[in-house]
């Protein structure tokens, strides 16, 4: 088995996946071993470029997949730290099965990303308090 590297792979199906890849020679035929492959969807907004990440094969409990080279259009090794961080963050986040949306800024200017709640970010009010305040505001606007 060869060295492991991060690669972006374009498949004949049109899918683009990012994975930790190693190349294995099986009786002279090369096979690609993909570890935890993910798909990426790029969204451009006025806040920047965002990447939606999800598992390549969502219903599988396996994390290693084998692909034959005839199913690949092209493959490129990536050393982009931000993409690798998004990948490893998604793979290491075993508690949350929802999609992860990360931000990617290829120019390495001011980077923005999802705001993660911290302990300092408390609740403004409870649902009951907020409901009461909104009802009071609504009732006062009707009376005026």
Record the pTM: 0.60
Residue 29 is predicted with a pLDDT of 79
Q: Give residue 19's pLDDT.
A: 94
Average pLDDT of the chain is 80
Q: Between these two residues, 143 and 87, which has the higher pLDDT value?
A: 87
**143 pLDDT exceeds 60?**
yes
pLDDT of residue 41: 85
Q: Is the pLDDT of residue 95 over 60?
A: no
Question: What's the pLDDT tens digit per position in 28-77?
Answer: 778 899 999 999 888 888 888 888 888 999 888 888 999 988 999 999 99
The rounded distance, in Å, linking the Cα atoms of 143 and 80 is 60
Task: Please report the DSSP string for 31-77 in residue order.
Answer: EEEEEEEEEEEEEEETTEEEEEEEESSTT----EEEE-GGGEEEEEE
Q: Per DSSP, what are the bridge partners of residue 21? A: 5, 34
CATH 2.30.30.100 fits 5-115, yes or no: yes
Sorted by where each begins, the domain ranges of the chain are 5-115
Strand, helix or coil for residue 100: strand
Q: Which are the contacts of 15, defined by CB distance < 8 A and separation ≥ 6?
A: 39, 56
Classify strands 16-26 and 5-11 as parallel, antiparallel or unpaired.
antiparallel
């Amino acid at each position: 088995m060869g060295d492991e590297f991060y690669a972006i792979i374009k498949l004949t199906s049109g899918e683009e996946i990012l994975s930790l890849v190693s190349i294995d020679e099986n009786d002279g035929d090369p096979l690609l071993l993909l570890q935890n492959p993910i798909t990426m969807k790029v969204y451009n907004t006025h806040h920047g470029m965002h990447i939606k990440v999800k598992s390549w094969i969502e219903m599988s409990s396996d994390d290693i997949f084998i692909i034959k080279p005839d199913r690949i259009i092209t493959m490129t090794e990536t050393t982009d730290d931000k993409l690798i961080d998004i990948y490893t963050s998604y793979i290491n986040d075993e508690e949350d099965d929802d999609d992860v949306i990360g931000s990617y800024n290829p120019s390495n200017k001011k980077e923005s990303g999802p705001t993660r709640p911290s302990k300092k970010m408390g609740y403004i009010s409870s649902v009951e308090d907020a409901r009461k305040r909104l009802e009071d505001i609504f009732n006062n606007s009707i009376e005026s």
